[in-house]
Structure 1
Amino acid sequence: MWTIIGTSKFCATVRFGVVKRPLASLFTCSRAMAKSKFEYVRCFETDDTCLRNCYIVVRLDGRNFHKFAEQHKFTKPNDNRALGLMTRSARSVMEELEDVVIAYGQSDEFSFVFKRSTTWFKRRASKLMTHVTSQFSSSYVFYWKEFFGEQPLLYPPGFDGRVVLYPSNRNLRDYLSWRQADCHINNLYNTVFWTLVQKGGLTTAQAEERLKRTLAAEKNEILFSEFSINYNTEALLHRKGTALIWEKTEETITKRMKLPNEEEEKDVNVTRSRKRVQAHHCDIIGETFWEEHPDILEDDG
C-alpha cells in the first residue's frame, strides 16, 4: 500500500519511493484531464463584467422590422397583435430571469432592467445580452400563433441587443423617460401620417411632405380639425407603451387535504400570495408610477 508521508508543492514523498510529478496529478478529475496545450486560447477572451452598483439595461430592437411588418401585413399605424406578442415575449424573459425588475417596450423594442445588485451570470454583459435576446426571439416565434392565429410566420425575426449601465436611480428613470418620450413622438407622427393616407387620400410621399417641419401642436391640430380625432383619447397602449413589473397577487386554489379532527379528505380552498408579471400602460415619466411601486428601485445610498 502506498502511503503519502510528506508533501511539497511539487512532489509527494511516498513510502517505497518518491513520485516525481506534481502533487495535483495524483488527484486527477475529468476537468483536469480535459486540459490541453490548446487551452491558452482562453487568454484571448475579454473581461466584460458589468460595473458593480449599476443597473444593467439590456435593450432589444427588431432587425429590419419595417420589412418584417410589411411582409406580415401589420396593421398601420399600430397592430395590437404584434404589440401583444412583443409583450408576451418580454414576459417570458422576466419569468426566466427574475432579477429583471422592470421592462419597458414600444413598437419593435423592449428594454430590460436588471436590479443593481444582480449577480446573474456573474454580471457578464455578453451572457446577459445573449440570454435575453435568445429568450425573447424564441418566445416571439413560440407564441406567434397565440396572437396571429393561422397567419403563417414567413421567416424568423431577428433582434439585436445592447447593454448600458446606469449608476443612479435618476439616470435609470431618465433613460426610461427617454424611451417613453420616443414612444409618444413616434406614435403621434405615425397616427397623423397614416390618418392622412387612409382617411385623407394622400399618398405616402404626400403625407410625408405635409408633415415636414410640423410641431406636435400642429400634428394634433391636423387630427382634430380635419378628422375629428382627439389624440389624447387614443389607446394608452399606443401612446404610453408597456411597462412590465412584478406585483404580488392573491390566488385561490382548491387542494384536497385531511383537516385536523376529520377522518376523510376534503376539498379546501387555499389562498396564497404570488409574484406575477403585470402590464401597465401609463405615464412613467412623472412621480406617480414610482410612488405607487417603490420596490422597483434600490436606494442610491
Structure 2
Amino acid sequence: MAYGQSDEYSFVLKKDSTLYGRREAKLVSVLTSLFTSAYVLAWSRRMGEGTPLRQAPCFDGRAVAYPSDAILRDYLAWRQVDAHINNQYNTVFWALVAQGGETPAAAQTLIRGTDAAWKNETLHTRFSINYNDLPAMFRKGSVVTRVRQSVVVKVKEESGEEVRRERCVAQVTHEDIIGDKFYAQRP
C-alpha cells in the first residue's frame, strides 16, 4: 500500500516482508529510485503530451518502523487530515487571489487564524464553491493498493483467443483511510 498527497508519498510494507532482507538503506534507495522513475515515465501521460517536464525531479526518502498497526493507521490518518487541511487552505487562498481580486499577501492575512467552517463558508458564499464537491484526489490524496485482475498475457495466433491470468496490479483510489471501512475491506 502507498498513500500520497502533495509532494509526499508513504509506502507501507507488510510486517513479514523480507524484501531486500529488510535492510533500511536498500529499501529507501530502491523505493525512492523506483518512485522517481515512475514519476518521470508517467509525466506525459498524466500531464499531457504538450506539457514538458522542465527539470528532473528529486525525491528524498526515509524508513520508519511503526510498532503496531494502530500506530501505522494513526500516521496514515494524520497524512490524510493534512491533505485536507492543506487543500482547503490552498483552495480558499487561490479563490481569493484569482476570483476575489486579493493580493497573495492580503489573502494570507484574511485566512490567518481561521477555522474550517470559515473557509467552507467563504468558498460557498463568495465563490459558489462547495468544498465537498471538489475532486476527492485533492481532498483525500491518493491511495495505491494491489488488486488481483484478470489480464491478457498473450493472444493465440491461430485462433485469436486471449490467454488470461490473474495478476496483481496497482490501483489508485481517492478514499477515506481514516475510518475502519478501508481496512475492513483489505484485511
Structure 2 distance, partners of 1:153, 1:247, is 30
**Aligned-residue offset at 1:163:** 1.0
The match for 1:141 is 40
Give 1:170's match in structure 2, choosing from 62, 70, 81: 70
Give 2:24's match in structure 1, choosing from 125, 131, 136: 125
Secondary structure, counterpart of 2:149 in structure 1: strand
- Counting aligned pairs with the same residue, the percent is 47
**Aligned-residue offset at 1:268:** 2.9
The match for 2:167 is 274
CA RMSD of aligned residues (A): 1.7
Query: Which whole-Å deviations, capped at 9, do the CAs of 1:104-148 have from their partners, x for residues lacking one?
Result: 001111111111111122111111111111122233233333334
* AA of the residue aligned to 2:149: T
Higher strand share: 1
The match for 1:217 is 117
**Aligned-residue offset at 1:254:** 6.0
Structure possessing the higher relative contact order (Cα contacts under 8 Å, 6 or more residues apart): 2
Secondary structure, counterpart of 2:107 in structure 1: helix
Moved more, 131-140 or 185-194: 131-140
Secondary structure, counterpart of 1:166 in structure 2: coil
**Aligned-residue offset at 1:253:** 6.1
Q: Spell out structure 1 runs of 4+ moving beyond 4 A.
A: none
Distance 1:122 1:287, change over 3 A: same
Q: Show the 5 A alignment for 1:1-301.
A: 102-146=1-45, 147-252=47-152, 255-256=155-156, 266-294=159-187
Query: Which whole-Å deviations, capped at 9, do the CAs of 1:167-201 have from their partners, x for residues lacking one?
Result: 21111111110100000000000000000001101
Structure 1 distance, partners of 2:83, 2:140, is 7
Structure 2 distance, partners of 1:217, 1:286, is 22
Structure 2 distance, partners of 1:185, 1:275, is 33
**Aligned-residue offset at 1:252:** 4.8
Larger CA Rg, structure 1 vs 2 = 1
**Any gaps of 5 or more consecutive residues in structure 1?**
1-101, 258-264, 295-301
TM-score by length of 1: 0.58
* AA of the residue aligned to 1:279: V
Structure 2 distance, partners of 1:288, 1:148, is 34
Secondary structure, counterpart of 1:114 in structure 2: coil
**Aligned-residue offset at 1:229:** 1.0
**Any gaps of 5 or more consecutive residues in structure 2?**
none
The match for 1:96 is none
**Aligned-residue offset at 1:272:** 2.8
- Kept in 1, the 8 Å contact 2:156–2:163? The answer is no
